[in-house]
Amino acid sequence: MNTHLKLATLALLAGATSLSMADGARSEKNMSLALANQLAAAAVSACQANGYAVTATVVDRAGGVRALHRADNAGPHTLVASERKAFTAASAKNATTAMMETAQKNPGAANLVHIPGFLLLGGGVPVKVGNELIGAIGVGGAPGGHLDDQCAAAALEAVKGQLQ
């Protein structure tokens, strides 16, 4: 094999290797611990202002817990409920209230309740920067999922400047 052909082959192989390495790595936004703590604290505070003792759990884009705040007098069930709502919202990239309503109206979607870790009750809301999911917040313990939703919305409103 002549020298020019060897050099051309090496250059082609080096280019292909760098392309495959570039395709294998991704850059993603994710939930920071500071933001997760702010969201959880804001949700608990919003619910406390209305007389509700809740737990707020914030998960990252993969559903892993980043922060959990439990109000004084929040029931023990609120720990699991808030985490599952957050996990469900992050996993499905959708609010749990919307998923619950879809499951109630569509028999095919009713099977969503059988996915391990999913909880189709109001209070789970995705957290996005632009259109990119970075995590979710789940609130549990208010007397109704719509009230858990309100506390999660208040938390998102409190940090909206950081979600741009």
CATH code for the domain in which residue 39 is found: 3.30.450.150
**3-state class (DSSP) for residue 67:** strand
End-to-end Cα distance, the chain? 56
Asked whether residue 102 is assigned to any structural domain, the reply reads yes
> CA-CA distance, 41 to 127, in Å (whole number)?
15
Question: pTM for this one?
Answer: 0.85
Asked whether residue 113 is assigned to any structural domain, the reply reads yes
Please report the pLDDT score of residue 26 as a whole number: 86
Q: Please write the tens of the pLDDT for every residue from 123-153.
A: 999 999 999 999 999 999 999 999 999 999 9
Asked whether residue 25 is assigned to any structural domain, the reply reads no
Identify the domain containing residue 51 by its residue range. 33-162
Asked whether residue 19 is assigned to any structural domain, the reply reads no
Closest CA to 76 of 141, 143, 125: 141
Looking at the 3D structure of the chain, how many domains does it have?
1
Across the range 84-91, mean pLDDT stands at 98
Over the range 64-89, which residues count as b (16 or more CB within 10 Å of their CB) and which as e? ebbbbbbbeebeeebbebbbbbbbbb
CA 145 from chain centre, in angstroms, equals 17
Average pLDDT, the chain: 91
Across the range 71-99, mean pLDDT stands at 98
Across the range 100-127, mean pLDDT stands at 96
Q: How many CA atoms lie within 13 A of 148 on its CB side?
A: 29
